[in-house]
Amino acid sequence: MTASHANPALLTRRSTLGLLLAGLAGNAVAPQLVKTVEVAATAAAPAIKKLAAPTQSWPSLDALGQAMVDKKLTPGLSLSVMHAGALLYSKGFGLANVDSSTAVTPQTEFRIASITKQFTAASILLLAEDGLLTLDDPLLKFMPEFPRAADITLRQLLSHTSGMGDYINGQSMDVLTQAQTRDYTTDELVKIISARQPLYRAQPGATWLYSNSAFTILGIVVEKLSGMAFADFAFKRLFTPAGLTQTSIDKTCTVASVCNGYRPNYKAPTKFDTVLPVSASFAGGAGAIRSTTEDLSLWHHALLEGKVLKPQSLRAMLTPTLLKNGTPAYERRGNDPMEYGLGQGLGSMNNLKLASHGGRINGFTGHLRSFTDQKLTVAILYNSDGGGAPGFAAAQKGLKTEASRLGLEYLGLSKG
């Protein structure tokens, strides 16, 4: 499906977690997939390390960020630029909550949607380091009950080359509306994913085909092998080693948040409608995480510095995937081609290697990119999904391009 002004809830692309509609339904707490990290956090919470103040003042970036707020494309946004663990720029614009007039800061937590996928990929790679799996193991080894589990490998699931379809895009409106206000067990998720027809839209290894289903299945594999809820595993093995203190997976869909999600509606009194994101338990390994731009910048810094994965695992994540016929698995072709590794899009800007991923879910949009050799990271989070807002995509692209340009210029690497 594609986005349209007639139905602005239709939000697709690689970065899109799915088609989701605002609505209310019952609330049934089911702790199997996404459990609380409360116990782990109490016992071993990482010490909060205050980052040094940003060193750069970039008026052109200020102007672009404020323009998105002024044009009512988003109530607010947060933007951080980091080099080798040091903040160059970090600011919030606009409001996290329109009703309470709470301002966005670089410490405001947003749902990051599909940016979650690289955390899920890192989890699988850690289990490989533990000797509990190999990337070329068939899914059959871990979930024998799943349809055609013998035909697909973990590597194919990690690289969107399994041929599996998507349990979110194109899903029933009733299911998607319920998913905003209730939690799900693993068994319920597997049933929902398996029921999609066609479950497989292509032969495994034949093409690149974006699949939220694949990454939610991977999150379930993490739980099965680690004996921990995905939230607890991520806290212990990812967030803590990386020094992330404002990154989490919600305990339930009823968790209160200072940052609301919105969709532009120029007929509404505030010019926005409040919309609920899908529950973390429904999104799972495909899009459950909540974070800040400063924490996301620290995540890429820790990843590239080897604080999370061993060198061979990081190389696997950042190596373009090949299809069965030996050709690259292109996410996007054309003038700005993008290949795909494991949970990371791989491209270039100014002939410099770039690892990136976007995310979109009801009420939220985000983008995280790093120039891997230069250790320069840009993280942007919006509390708007941009649905039905002319100019959102172009403004978003302009903001991340200018942030990248300024960062490279700071390093003496500006084009020309």
**How would residue 217 be classed by pLDDT, with cut points 50, 70 and 90?**
very high
Q: Is 7 helix (H, G, I), strand (E, B) or coil?
A: coil
pLDDT value at 31 more than 90: no
pLDDT for 175 equals 83
Q: Is 264 helix (H, G, I), strand (E, B) or coil?
A: strand
> Is pLDDT larger for residue 195 or for residue 41?
195
pLDDT for 357 equals 98
pLDDT value at 399 more than 70: yes
pLDDT for 136 equals 98
pLDDT for 277 equals 87
Mean pLDDT of 59-76: 98
> Is pLDDT larger for residue 6 or for residue 315?
315
pLDDT value at 30 more than 60: no
Q: What token pair was written down for 145? A: 């009950």
DSSP state of 235: I
Whether 242 and 299 have beta carbons less than 8 Å apart is answered as: yes
**How would residue 414 be classed by pLDDT, with cut points 50, 70 and 90?**
confident
User: Cα(282)–Cα(352) distance, rounded to whole angstroms?
Assistant: 36
**Dihedral of the alpha carbons of 83, 86, 88, 94, in degrees to the nearest 10:** 110
Mean pLDDT of 114-141: 98
Name 66's Cβ contacts closer than 8 Å, sequence gap at least 6. 93, 94
Mean pLDDT of 382-404: 95
When the pLDDT of each residue in the chain is averaged and rounded to a whole number, the result is: 88
Mean pLDDT of 209-234: 97
pLDDT for 8 equals 31
User: Cα(384)–Cα(387) distance, rounded to whole angstroms?
Assistant: 8
| Order of strands, sheet of 110-111, starting from the edge strand that comes earlier in the sequence | 110-111, 289-291, 248-249
Of the chain, the percentage scoring pLDDT greater than 90 comes to: 79
pLDDT for 90 equals 98
pLDDT value at 258 more than 90: no
> Is pLDDT larger for residue 168 or for residue 5?
168
pLDDT digits (tens, 9 = 90+) for 322-335: 999 999 999 999 88
Mean pLDDT of 18-38: 34
pLDDT value at 4 more than 70: no
pLDDT value at 37 more than 50: no
User: Cα(398)–Cα(394) distance, rounded to whole angstroms?
Assistant: 6
**How would residue 107 be classed by pLDDT, with cut points 50, 70 and 90?**
very high
Whether 93 and 381 have beta carbons less than 8 Å apart is answered as: no
User: Which one-letter amino acid corresponds to residue 129?
Assistant: E
pLDDT digits (tens, 9 = 90+) for 167-213: 987 777 788 888 999 999 999 999 999 998 899 999 999 999 999 99
Q: Is 275 helix (H, G, I), strand (E, B) or coil?
A: strand
pLDDT value at 261 more than 80: yes
DSSP state of 85: T
Least Cα distance to 1 among 15, 22, 18 occurs for 18
pLDDT for 190 equals 97
Buried b (16+ CB within 10 A) or exposed e, 253-280: beeebebbbbbbbeeeeebbbbbbbbbb
